Amino acid sequence: MKINLKKSILTLLTILFVLCAESTHSQGLFTPSLPSGLKAYAPDRYFQVVPRIVPADKETTIQIVSRYEAFPKPLHTYRFTYIPVGRYATQTGWKKAEAQEITPANNIFTITKYFEAEQEHVFKIEEITPDNKVKEVGSFHVYSLNPDLFTLRPYKGDFHMHSFRSDGRESPGYVAGACRRVGFDFMGLSDHRNYAGSMEAIKTFEGLPIDLRLYPSEEVHPPDNPVHFVSFGAKEGITELYKFDEKIYRDEVQSIMNTLGDMPYGVDKFQYASCLWTFQKIRERGGLGIFAHPYWRPGNTNYIANALVDYLFETTIFDAVELISGFGWDELQEVDVNNLQLAKYIEAKSKGKKVPIVGISDSHSCENHDMFGRYYTICFSPSLELSDLINAIKEEKAVAVEAAGGMLPRPYGPYRLVAYTHFLLRYVLPLHDEMCFEEGRLMIEYAGGNKDVVEQLKLMKGRVQRYYDKIWSK
């Protein structure tokens, strides 16, 4: 049988193209439209829900405002169906979803409801045409919170990333601008053994009308200690304490060793004492001491002995641990470091330990790797002040988020915060990230020498805060 080779190759390529297209389509739900890995919920493009975050166990009026389509339409009627997602309905007597009539006015659907308990609530609005055809207007989501969480706001940030002041690709100013572009509210540049890089980032934007909060950071590597530390927010660098006079460091570590008893099998006493020394120095300078990537495996062996990792979790001498660390999708196929860290966290919590957590990217480039912006921390804090952010993390009011490979973003931490964060990632933070994007782009332009963008930055200042003020019930 004679085979047309050229035609066969073209047929094969066509089949492969179709398969790739079908694969991409099947993953469309998780394909991000934003650099942060989030995708805006479609109805939020056409409607505004205000407020969207409401107090639990209180009657509140919400408005669903149509931005483009006129309501009501002549001879059309409307109805809504209410569903409390968690099925907390003792006070309201809700039994099952039942449609109720509603009449919009001036493009606004107004609903007054008693929002029971801490949970998500769904309102499905339908339109009935004169010939009795039913068309869905949209499903709209609201979250009710207990008082302690209702007073806090979700702030996104990353403490662990690098510039070309150590082994990163971009300048400190570029990294800071890229942080805002990807939707961060705060950041700390933590170059290896280099506190000055973070101060350079801060100085680059000093006095500018921007909303991103920049704080000092560094990644600390004490001599003869394999543990990596992130110092976030400290008033001074830690590296300088041993860089210029290592003898003082060693003498102080020896003094700590003299106070310790026998170590568990496999734990190096000097390394553990050095950890105590490092966390102490960070705290003395007003910073947050983070235990970085405990299960990092750069070769065929863990960088830190498991015995030391176990003992650090047992004694919890750190202020926070990197629950989610930035590793590329390909790297995670080799060793899923984050899964190991999650398992260790769950084990420690089952023993009654207090284990504050963070998520970080450990990014070495804002443009050439999918880690940047896809691993981060959400702090539930009353403000973006450093003391409030640190306190939120220490009091376990933070979650770690990962969206490895641009897939479905997943938060980790206490269940209550994770459930709430799921809602935020779908219905609140995508629009937040879009507002941050343009400010970040202009910050990058400014860091590159374009000073003409200052007037544009002035116009953007305060946008996220105004957005939050609008969607949180007064």
| 426 phi and psi angles, rounded to 5 deg | -95, -40
What is the C-alpha separation between 417 and 118, in angstroms, rounded? 11
What is the C-alpha separation between 262 and 256, in angstroms, rounded? 13
Do the beta carbons of residue 228 and residue 197 sit within 8 Å?
A: no
Per-run averaged pLDDT (10 residues), the chain, 474 residues: 46 39 36 73 94 97 97 96 94 90 97 97 97 96 98 97 94 97 97 96 97 98 97 97 93 97 96 98 98 88 93 97 84 81 96 96 87 93 98 98 82 97 96 95 97 96 96 92
What is the C-alpha separation between 60 and 53, in angstroms, rounded? 10
Sign of CA dihedral 321, 323, 328, 333: positive
CATH (residue range 43-146): 2.60.40.10
Looking at residue 4, its pLDDT comes to 54
Looking at residue 16, its pLDDT comes to 38
Looking at residue 352, its pLDDT comes to 96
Which amino acid appears at position 96 of this protein?
K
DSSP-based helix, strand, coil % in the chain, nearest 5: 40, 25, 40
Looking at residue 31, its pLDDT comes to 41
Looking at residue 30, its pLDDT comes to 39
For residue 250, give every residue at least 6 positions away whose Cβ sits within 8 Å of its Cβ, in sequence order, or none: 223
Which pairs with CB-CB distance under 8 Å and at least 24 residues apart come from 237-244?
Answer: 237/194, 237/195, 237/196, 238/195, 238/278, 238/281, 238/282, 238/285, 239/193, 239/194, 239/195, 240/195, 241/281, 243/193
What is the C-alpha separation between 106 and 126, in angstroms, rounded? 17
CA triple 199-175-410, angle to 5 deg:
115
Looking at residue 320, its pLDDT comes to 98
For the chain, where do the domains classified as CATH 3.20.20.140 start and end? 153-468
Looking at residue 302, its pLDDT comes to 86
Closest by CA to 196, choosing from 248, 238, 225, is 238
Run of H or E residues at 16: helix 5-26
Which amino acid appears at position 156 of this protein?
K
Tokens of 4: 């047309």
Write the DSSP symbol of residue 238.
S
Q: Are strands 153-158 and 186-189 parallel, antiparallel or unpaired?
A: parallel
Looking at residue 299, its pLDDT comes to 77
Angstrom distances, CA of residue 254 to CA of 9, 227, 238, 278, 279: 71, 17, 18, 13, 16
Looking at residue 22, its pLDDT comes to 36
Looking at residue 406, its pLDDT comes to 67
For residue 49, give every residue at least 6 positions away whose Cβ sits within 8 Å of its Cβ, in sequence order, or none: 62, 63, 64, 65, 140, 141, 142, 427, 471
Looking at residue 14, its pLDDT comes to 39
Looking at residue 397, its pLDDT comes to 98
For the chain, where do the domains classified as CATH 2.60.40.10 start and end? 43-146
pTM over 0.75? The answer is yes
Say if domain 153-468 classifies as CATH 3.90.550.10. no
